[in-house]
Amino acid sequence: MFCSRCGTGIPPSTQFCPSCGLDLRTTLPIDSVDPSALSELDVIREALASDYELREELGRGGMAIVFRALDLHLQREVALKVLPFSLAFDSEFVERFSREAKTSGSLEHPHIIPVYRVGRTGRVIFFVMKLLRGGALSKVLEERRRLEPGEIRKLLSDVGSALGYAHARGIVHRDIKPDNIMFDEFGQCVVTDFGIAKAGTNSRLTGTGMSIGTPHYMSPEQARAQAIDGRSDLYSLGIVAYQALVGELPYDGEDSFSIGYKHIMEPIPVPLLDTMDERRLFQIIRKLMMKDPVDRYQDADALLRDLEGQPRDGIAQQRRVTAEQAIIARQSTTPIPAQSIPLEPPPAAPPVKTPLPRPSVATTPRRSVMRRSVVAAEPERGKWVPWAFALI
């Protein structure tokens, strides 16, 4: 006998379907099932029909299926994420899926995906999110391979701001990578997929002996399955920025073991960069990628301060002045002539004999980056022996 709703086989004397929860006392089971008539999609569509109209499958992976759907009550399009039926009875995956929804739902930040609803209808476990129409960073890098320095600074600023907000609330994302950085219709970066995020510094979700994360973007301490904190997320963000600047990953290998070894043991690759702006930006990326967490930015706020304080090239400076002029002009009741804010920097003042002022705080991190990068290039081999056990 089979459930008439989801097609699950039913043992004799069963009162409720073990898959979808259908009350079998009021609905008779059926003798056979047509496999083509009761696909997973059909069950999801029927279970959510009163609230959502499924319009398109946006993506499917081992952990979830994501649909573009119409909220029938609010008449707006949303992203609807569903746990695959094959995982619905695995308590570990159900916990991870629920954690993603609850964590994202608890974080209200413009660069973190908002969650609108969490629910379960029979066999269908789902949550509803904002629909991001700009696609994932991974797709952009696949098409363009590299980003401009200004775009990378914007990426670091948006994602760094989101991570700083989450870290201040004790939440470490643990899987920052291009697939989990998306864009809305206005080009703003949005951090998604908090499925393996966890409060505190415990580096694992379970006791299975697996280090959770994506090998190409794992921090050295994450690859070794050590306790981690927000600085691990900053390392992963540095790998993403390196890939966007150079056009390739800093560490690659045939399997997770060889990639993990390189994260732990090999020095940071120094790429050939064409412009001074790219070389300045690389100093920030290098500091994010330092092997020892002590040598990285200690929090996202330090990263944001360095991004704000680092000089840009002349074109970027000119664009910033032009934007400031436009803002001031809109706020003023009297039109401001173009000459009031020069587009070219004023001529340098004549030299004076008074002592030079002390360096500003904004310039200090760049000098310390250069000193620390030398240390990171020669890690102590003996410290990293246990790395091979992290990715079992």
Predicted confidence (pLDDT) per residue in 24-80, tens digit? 766 766 666 555 445 888 999 999 999 999 999 998 876 889 999 999 999 999 999
Query: Residue 361: is its pLDDT beyond 50?
Result: no
Rounded Cα–Cα distance for residues 322 and 56 (Å) = 42
Q: Among the CATH numbers 1.10.12.10, 1.10.510.10, 3.40.50.300, 1.20.1250.20, which is that of 137-310+369-389?
A: 1.10.510.10
Annotated domain spans of the chain:
45-130, 137-310+369-389
3-state secondary structure of 244: helix
Q: What is the pLDDT of residue 351?
A: 52
Residue 206, pLDDT score = 43
Rounded Cα distance between 178 and 162, Å, is 15
Q: Are 228 and 172 in contact (CB under 8 A)?
A: yes
Q: Which CATH architecture has domain 45-130?
A: 2-Layer Sandwich (3.30)
Q: List, for residues 253-293, the tens digit of each pLDDT value.
A: 988 899 999 999 999 999 999 999 999 999 999 999 999 99
How does residue 123 score in pLDDT terms, banded at 50, 70 and 90? Answer: confident
Better pLDDT: 96 or 172: 172
191-206: pLDDT as tens digits: 998 877 765 544 444 4
Which pLDDT does position 313 carry in this prediction?
54
What pLDDT score was predicted for residue 86? 81
Average pLDDT over the chain, rounded to whole?
78
Q: Which residues are catalytic?
A: 175
Taking the C-alpha atoms of residue 365 and residue 284, their distance in angstroms, rounded to an integer, is: 9
pLDDT digits (tens, 9 = 90+) for 299-335: 999 999 999 987 655 444 444 444 445 444 444 444 4
* Maximum mean pLDDT: which of 86-90, 132-136, 238-242: 238-242
Structure tokens at 83: 């746990």
Res 233: pLDDT: 97
pLDDT for 229-254, tens place per residue?
999 999 999 999 999 999 999 999 98
Determine what percent of the chain is predicted with pLDDT higher than 90: 53
- The residues that bridge with 77 in the sheet, in sequence order, are 70
Give yes or no for a contact between 174 and 232, defined as CB atoms under 8 angstroms apart: yes
- Across residues 143-150, what is the average pLDDT? 96
